[in-house]
Amino acid sequence: MAYNREDKMDSMDQGDDKDSRRSPSFHRKKGCRFCLDREFVMDYKDVRMMQSFISEHGKITPRRISGNCADHQRKLTSAVKRARNLALVGYVSSGHFGH
Protein backbone atom coordinates (compact mmCIF):
# COMPACT_ATOMS: atom_id res chain seq x y z
CA MET A 1 0.00 0.00 0.00
CA ALA A 2 2.67 2.45 0.91
CA TYR A 3 4.28 1.65 -2.40
CA ASN A 4 2.43 4.38 -4.19
CA ARG A 5 4.91 6.92 -2.94
CA GLU A 6 7.68 5.61 -5.14
CA ASP A 7 5.62 6.13 -8.23
CA LYS A 8 5.48 9.81 -7.59
CA MET A 9 9.24 10.07 -7.81
CA ASP A 10 8.98 9.57 -11.54
CA SER A 11 7.33 12.85 -12.10
CA MET A 12 10.32 14.58 -10.61
CA ASP A 13 12.69 14.05 -13.48
CA GLN A 14 12.49 17.59 -14.59
CA GLY A 15 14.52 18.52 -11.58
CA ASP A 16 17.82 17.59 -13.14
CA ASP A 17 19.24 21.04 -12.90
CA LYS A 18 21.02 20.37 -9.67
CA ASP A 19 24.27 21.46 -11.23
CA SER A 20 23.03 24.76 -12.45
CA ARG A 21 22.60 25.62 -8.81
CA ARG A 22 26.18 26.63 -8.46
CA SER A 23 26.09 29.79 -10.41
CA PRO A 24 29.24 30.98 -12.07
CA SER A 25 31.30 33.18 -9.91
CA PHE A 26 30.19 36.65 -9.37
CA HIS A 27 32.39 37.92 -6.70
CA ARG A 28 34.27 34.72 -6.29
CA LYS A 29 37.84 35.77 -6.32
CA LYS A 30 39.91 33.14 -4.76
CA GLY A 31 42.49 34.15 -2.34
CA CYS A 32 43.11 36.98 -0.07
CA ARG A 33 43.47 40.30 -1.75
CA PHE A 34 45.89 41.49 0.84
CA CYS A 35 48.08 38.45 0.47
CA LEU A 36 47.98 38.51 -3.29
CA ASP A 37 48.74 42.14 -3.66
CA ARG A 38 51.31 43.60 -1.37
CA GLU A 39 50.43 47.04 -2.56
CA PHE A 40 46.94 46.60 -1.33
CA VAL A 41 47.38 47.95 2.12
CA MET A 42 44.83 47.75 4.83
CA ASP A 43 44.26 51.24 5.99
CA TYR A 44 41.27 52.26 8.00
CA LYS A 45 41.69 55.76 6.70
CA ASP A 46 41.23 54.56 3.18
CA VAL A 47 37.50 54.78 3.00
CA ARG A 48 37.19 53.54 -0.51
CA MET A 49 39.14 50.42 0.25
CA MET A 50 37.15 49.82 3.37
CA GLN A 51 33.90 50.25 1.58
CA SER A 52 34.75 47.51 -0.81
CA PHE A 53 34.55 45.19 2.16
CA ILE A 54 31.44 46.62 3.63
CA SER A 55 27.93 46.08 2.44
CA GLU A 56 25.57 48.92 1.94
CA HIS A 57 24.14 48.12 5.31
CA GLY A 58 27.45 48.73 6.93
CA LYS A 59 28.20 45.11 7.52
CA ILE A 60 31.57 43.60 7.00
CA THR A 61 31.76 41.21 4.10
CA PRO A 62 32.14 37.69 5.41
CA ARG A 63 35.35 35.89 4.69
CA ARG A 64 33.55 33.37 2.56
CA ILE A 65 32.71 36.13 0.13
CA SER A 66 35.62 38.48 0.43
CA GLY A 67 38.03 35.59 0.15
CA ASN A 68 40.32 37.06 2.73
CA CYS A 69 42.51 34.82 4.76
CA ALA A 70 41.76 34.49 8.44
CA ASP A 71 44.56 36.76 9.41
CA HIS A 72 43.64 39.58 7.14
CA GLN A 73 39.97 39.19 7.77
CA ARG A 74 40.65 39.69 11.43
CA LYS A 75 42.71 42.75 10.67
CA LEU A 76 40.05 44.03 8.39
CA THR A 77 37.44 43.62 11.08
CA SER A 78 39.41 45.66 13.53
CA ALA A 79 40.22 48.22 10.90
CA VAL A 80 36.56 48.59 10.10
CA LYS A 81 35.74 48.97 13.74
CA ARG A 82 38.36 51.61 14.10
CA ALA A 83 37.03 53.38 11.07
CA ARG A 84 33.56 53.29 12.53
CA ASN A 85 34.80 54.89 15.65
CA LEU A 86 36.21 57.65 13.59
CA ALA A 87 32.93 57.86 11.77
CA LEU A 88 34.65 57.45 8.46
CA VAL A 89 32.49 54.51 7.75
CA GLY A 90 29.05 54.63 9.18
CA TYR A 91 27.24 51.84 10.94
CA VAL A 92 24.38 52.68 8.74
CA SER A 93 24.86 54.66 5.63
CA SER A 94 24.65 58.29 6.37
CA GLY A 95 25.88 61.53 4.96
CA HIS A 96 27.94 61.36 1.83
CA PHE A 97 28.12 57.65 1.46
CA GLY A 98 24.51 56.82 1.78
CA HIS A 99 21.59 57.62 -0.26
CB nearer Zn ion, residue 28 or residue 98: 28
What is the spatial distance between Cα 28 and Cα 61, in angstroms, rounded to a whole number?
13
CB 38 within 8 A of CB 3: no
User: Site for Zn ion (CB under 5 A): which residue of 72, 79, 80, 83?
Assistant: 72
- State the DSSP code for 54: B
CB 64 within 8 A of CB 38: no
- State the DSSP code for 21: G
CB nearer Zn ion, residue 78 or residue 94: 78
CB of 48 to Zn ion, least distance (A): 19
User: Site for Zn ion (CB under 5 A): which residue of 61, 69, 75, 84?
Assistant: 69
CB of 66 to Zn ion, least distance (A): 10
What is the spatial distance between Cα 97 and Cα 95, in angstroms, rounded to a whole number?
6
Site for Zn ion in 21-50 (CB under 5 A): 32, 34-35
Binding residues for Zn ion, rule: CB under 5 A, are: 32, 34-35, 69, 72
